[in-house]
Structure 1
Amino acid sequence: MKPIRIIIMAKEPQPGRAKTRLIPALGAQDAAALADRLFRRAVQQALAAKLGPVELHITPAPSSPYWRKLPEAKRCELFSQVPGDLGARMSAAARNGLSQGSAVLIMGTDCPDLDAKQLQSMAQSLQTHDSCLCPVTDGGYALIGLQQFSETLFTEIPWSTAQVAPITRDRLNALDWSCHESEFLNDVDEPEDLARLAKYYPELISPKG
């Protein structure tokens, strides 16, 4: 299999700044605690997929105590996110990863459905496709995989809207790149997402201990 580099985009789950759309339902502290559990699960699944290096592109900088105390971080390569919107940050991460000579899978931390098996499946698809996408039910995507770089996939996109995946598909078509898509996955952004999370991932709602 062609070498694969997993890139995880993440920010420190600080109360009041993490999962802000869940604060009305959970409160600032519990919303941040959920963000922390989602992040740790994402890293654990990326490492468990055993596809190659795992990069954390994070904010604030890697010198922050949160990252230095995170056991999983010791098995990952840490990078500071560049300034700019999500597109600029993903673009820089993708360009850096692809420059290492491997394909990349770029993911966030909001989608517990994106487990090691799913990551392996998407990596396999890059053996025969130029790109891959894991769309989510709200119109965005949980993962984009690339064999090569194009700035057009990350610029002038209305992030956090239902147009993200459709626009990305249009951009991939314009590039004439083949794309494999997974089934629709579910992320955790809104209060109505919590019922499904409790049903399928109760450990993320009520962690042991």
Structure 2
Amino acid sequence: MPQPRKQALIIFAKHPVPGRVKTRLIPPLTAVEAGRLYECMLRDTLCRTSRLAGIDHMLFYVDEPGAEPFFRQLAPSLPLFPQQGKDLGERMANAFSTAFAHGYQGVAIIGSDSPDLPLAFIENAFANLTNGKAAVFGPSEDGGYYLVALGEMHAELFRGIEWSRSDVLAKSLGKAAEAGIRVALLPGWYDVDTIEDLQRPELRDRENDAPLTREFIENRLGARGTRL
């Protein structure tokens, strides 16, 4: 009887230091508020994804003073790794390499900017890898992606891309096509980066299972999400 594939979800995270996270929200938020919002989103992400059955978790954090002890206290049960690389692409490629070196056969990376991301999307990513796709992308509304998953190492997907541009996904899909990599796309979703994102009704939905983020928004913006 074949053994089940060993799968891992990597969460990319930052130490929520005021002035270092969610800077596109400063103003209208203060640096302290932006840091608190990021921590709420991160905690919601960790709590929700912990319910994924049969998938191990790994947390890769931006290596800066105070980050390791913060994450050891925040997520004591998760294996922690410092992110390594000069840009986001290199850091993701190195994270994938680390996970594959630990024996995983299907690996996905998400961040913490989509605290209400449906768990079904993540499960669908792993299902696509099991069904023969070599790479899976979750398109985000800003032109990037909220998730990338691989069944084997394809470092070429992360080279030569300007990560701040709105054509990140398009460039990544082009690289996949050039390399003959079989790709699947998940449903679109959004990141929480701007005040307009905070005003989305989905984030104030009592059913979205991101309670800390929702509470922050209600306290800061008001129940209708319009007060600044």
Give the structure-2-normalised TM-score: 0.83
Which residue is 2:215 aligned to? Answer: 206
2:170 to 166, 173, 197: 166
Given the alignment, which residue of 175, 191, 198 partners 1:194?
198
> What is the aligned partner in structure 1 of residue 145 from structure 2?
141
Distance 2:67 2:115 in 1: 27
Give the equivalent residue in structure 1 for 2:63.
Answer: 60
Contact 2:108 2:149 in 1 (8 A): yes
Cα distance, 1:131 vs structure 2: 1.2
Percent sequence identity is 30
Matches of 2:118 and 2:35 in 1, distance apart? Answer: 21
Alignment of 1:10-89 (within 5 A): 10-60=13-63, 64-70=68-74, 73-89=75-91
Contiguous gaps of at least 5 residues in structure 2: 220-228
Aligned counterpart for 1:127 among listed residues 125, 130, 133: 130
User: Aligned partner of 1:142: which letter?
Assistant: Y
In structure 1, the partner of 2:101 is: 99
Task: Tell me the secondary structure at the aligned position of residue 176 of structure 2.
Answer: helix
- Alpha-carbon deviation of 1:25? 1.8
Whether the aligned pair in 1 keeps the contact of 2:107 and 2:151 (CA below 8 Å) is: yes
Question: Could you tell me how far 1:63 is from its partner in structure 2?
Answer: 6.4
3-state SS of 1:75 partner: coil
Larger radius of gyration: 2
Q: Tell me, in whole angstroms, the C-alpha distance in 2 between the residues paired with 1:9 and 1:169.
A: 21
Distance in 2 (alpha carbons) for counterparts of 1:205 and 1:113: 10
Paired residues in the alignment total 207
Q: Structure 1 residues 205 and 114, CA, compared in 2 at 3 Å: closer, same or farther?
A: closer
TM superposition shift of 1:116:
2.4
- CA drift at 1:127: 0.9
CA distance in 1, matches of 2:33, 2:54: 32
Match of 1:117 in 2: 120
| 1:185 equivalent in structure 2 | 189
CA contact (8 A) 1:49 1:117 kept: no
Gap regions ≥5 residues in structure 1:
none
Letter of the structure 2 residue corresponding to residue 174 of structure 1 = E
- Kindly indicate whether residue 111 of structure 2 is the aligned counterpart of residue 108 of structure 1: yes
- 54 and 190 in structure 1: CA distance in 2 versus 1, 3 angstrom threshold: same
CA–CA distance in structure 1, aligned partners of residues 142 and 12 of structure 2:
19
Contact 1:34 1:205 in 2 (8 A): no
Give 1:51 shift. 3.2
C-alpha distance in 2 between matches for 1:121 and 1:83: 28
Offset of residue 145 of structure 1? 0.5
- DSSP 3-state at the match of 1:143: strand
Q: What CA distance in whole angstroms lies between the structure 2 residues aligned with 1:2 and 1:13?
A: 34
Aligned-residue offset at 1:146: 0.2
Residue of structure 1 in register with 2:159 after alignment: 155
Displacement of 1:163 after TM fit?
Answer: 1.1
Task: Give the superposition deviation at 1:24.
Answer: 0.8
CA distance in 2, matches of 1:54, 1:178: 25
